[in-house]
Amino acid sequence: MKLLVTGGAGYIGSHVVRHLREAGHAVTVYDNLSTGHAWAVGDAELVVADLADSESLWRVLARGFEGVLHFAAHIVVPESVAEPLKYYDNNTRNTLNLLRGCADTGVGYFVFSSTAAVYGIPDTSAVAEDAPLQPINPYGASKMMSERMLMDLGAASRLRYVSLRYFNVAGADPRGRLGQATPDATHLIKVACQAATAQRDGITVFGTDYDTRDGTCERDYIHVEDLAAAHVRALEFLQRGGDSQVLNCGYGHGYSVLEVLDAVKRASGVDFAVTFGGRREGDPPALLANAERIRGTLVWQPQYANLDLIVRHALAWEEKVAAFLATAHPGAHRRFERKHAH
């Protein structure tokens, strides 16, 4: 298929682009490179532009795409609490802009990068797709609004869609070609691996008094490779005539912050510094997936559902980054990107 991938130069989007190219699809990436990297798109076409730029967006969509996969978004929960309008602007308004363009140009399939943050603090330990949507931060609310727009457009047009609600994405390409390349990313496993490879002085645990096994937040961690495979499955499902769906992307089991830190210390052999701070606003105590629907609907079989494996791949990526930075000086992250492109 001829596909447009927004945000395809970012962490998750670039992994999906690689999977799509390996499956034989023609891919155009649309990304403003605010957090993404040009080298990460591989041999896919890259259009550097913003979704708020309607003229550029319409010019690209006018080429005619069978499907759109939409990843472009801000994703940092604490930042969304501090700067809510930034999130409604980029995550919600720009999705509206994209959906309007899709409707005008006859896009048939749409795969949306959503989030478990739409659930807020669920009443059950493993939340299912039909649970109430009650986000507790602007990030989750911005995605919930986008889901609703997509649902309404799907009901009013021929567009069919799959909204994939991610739980906590981590890991890297097992062959070391791609990984989370944003230096100031806030993902727990990446930050811990950066601490283990001396890219950070240590790590802070935010909140130790939650109603969980050890008092720290519990999350359902999903390997980025399994998540990328789910996107390809979702697209193929729609191509075969499948109805619009909302699907959780997780494994159905969770780990606490302290358990994750122990896993990184085991894998690295480094006892990096851990400090303890207060709770962050917008963090639910526990968020785990009921993943039965995605397994049945997409016949999706995860290949990397193991915390130690996720950590090992994430750590290998950070070791690669650290090895390059050790021989460089300020600005080296950008040079790492250029070098890694080859």
Catalytic residues: 139
DSSP E strands in 153-280: the ranges are: 160-166, 168-170, 202-206, 218-219, 221-223, 245-249, 255-256, 273-277
Q: What is the CA radius of gyration of the chain?
A: 19
- If 0-12 CB within 10 Å is exposed, 13-18 middle and 19+ buried, where does residue 79 land? middle
Closest CA to 54 of 109, 86, 97: 97
The rounded distance, in Å, linking the Cα atoms of 2 and 13 is 16
Cβ contacts of residue 110 below 8 Å, gap of 6+? Answer: 67, 68, 69, 70, 99, 102, 150, 154, 159, 160, 161, 162
Query: Rounded CA gap, 57 and 21, in Å?
Result: 22
Q: How far apart are CA 175 and CA 201, in angstroms?
A: 27
Burial class of residue 295, CB neighbours in 10 A (0-12, 13-18, 19+) = middle
Structure tokens at 204: 């802070």
- How far apart (Å, rounded) are the C-alpha atoms in residues 263 and 193? 10
Residue 218 CA, chain-centre distance (Å), reads 18
Show Cβ contacts of residue 55 under 8 Å, excluding neighbours closer than 6 positions.
none
Q: 3-state DSSP: the chain helix, strand, coil percent, rounded to 5?
A: 45, 20, 40
| DSSP 8-class letter at 318 | H
